[in-house]
Amino acid sequence: MRLVQLSDIHIGSLFVQSTFDAVVDEVNKLQPDAIVITGDLTDEGILPQYEKARSEIKRLQCPNIIVVAGNHDYRHTGYLLFKKFFPSESVYEFDDAVILTLGTARPDRDEGEVGYRQNLWMEKTLAKYENKVKIVAMHHHLVGIPDTGTDKILILDAGDVLRTCLEAKVNLVMCGHKHRPWVWELGSLEITYAGTTSSTRYRGFFENSYNIIEIKDGNVNTDIKIVGKKRFPLNDLVERYKPFLEQA
């Protein structure tokens, strides 16, 4: 099973059309089983941006396009438009995996929150899937990322969510928001972060990118793909960054 994670498209003043055109061409050639877009499709959550976002995403040739909202999508009552333009389910079942989506965006707030009821729902739902790879997709980052500034925009109840993921034996959590590709490994749980797919709103990583996730025999492997350039394991990016962490 192959998944593609796009994130932080940011259709608006910093959106780069030629970059997204290249993404469409590359992703369509991959023929993924699902594309997961982890938020911030728009920059300001306004109607013209939503209209363009829908037309651009329709160019992606995939039977399963899963979209979650980001904090930018919820600006200016954009949460109402998101429901209109991107109606979605909360659970997506596949032969090898199940994907749960969590809504972490709140109107006119930059920080994220899952909330008690949604966290409890996640716990009960994941308990139904013992023989599948378990994946959770959300916009906001669950654990802080080096060199991305303040962590005040973390999920407010990140500790509760992380505990649920570990107890439910989630294999993969997919996040966006920080525009910095990264991965944390917490035992059998992998938390992957996608960079910005098609905007110039960089933070600590100055190229557009997206993630490619391969699932086989219960194992999850995540690569980063630089738009128009090479593909390599996301772990390699973290390993190359360690010398800078050690000097800090």
**From first to last of its 248 residues, what are the pLDDT tens digits of the chain?**
999 999 999 999 999 999 999 999 999 999 999 999 999 999 999 999 999 999 999 999 999 999 999 999 999 999 999 999 999 899 999 999 999 999 999 998 888 999 999 999 999 999 999 889 999 999 999 998 887 765 555 789 999 999 999 999 999 999 999 999 999 999 999 999 999 999 999 988 899 999 999 999 999 999 999 999 999 999 999 988 765 555 55
Strand, helix or coil for residue 81: helix
Instruction: Quote the number of domains for the chain.
Output: 1
Residue type, 86: F
Q: Provide the domain limits for residue 182.
A: 2-247
Q: Which CATH number belongs to the domain containing residue 144 in this structure? A: 3.60.21.10
| CA–CA distances in Å: residue 173 to residues 52, 81, 186, 216 | 28, 26, 11, 17
pTM, whole model, 2 decimals?
0.94
Question: Roughly what angle, to the nearest 10 degrees, separates helices 78-85 and 47-57?
Answer: 30
Helices (H), ranges, the chain: 17-30, 47-57, 78-85, 116-126, 158-167, 234-247
State how far the Cα of 148 lies from the Cα of 155, in Å rounded to an integer.
Answer: 15
